[in-house]
Amino acid sequence: MARDISVPKAKGGLRKLASCVGQYKAASIWTSVLVALEVLFEVFIPIIMAQIVDVGMAEVKRNLFSVCASET
């Protein structure tokens, strides 16, 4: 026999949460903003590192070619 398990819908959940936060309202807002910034940085760091490596490798190849060409 399957039992019907229903989950009650929360009405005004955000308001209820905001009323519980009380004196920590500013800290909770800052926490949300800083977590969002951290996520953005975590996304952009690999992209920036890939660009650094690509530019660095191009420079190394150029220098290596000029050194090898001057030796012959």
> What pLDDT does residue 67 have?
60
pLDDT of residue 34: 97
What's the pTM?
0.50
Cβ-contact 8, 1 below 8 angstroms: no
Residue that is written with structure tokens 């050194």 in the block: 67
pLDDT score of 64 more than 70: no
Q: What is the DSSP string of 2-49?
A: -----PPPPSSHHHHHHHHHGGGHHHHHHHHHHHHHHHHHHHHHHHHH
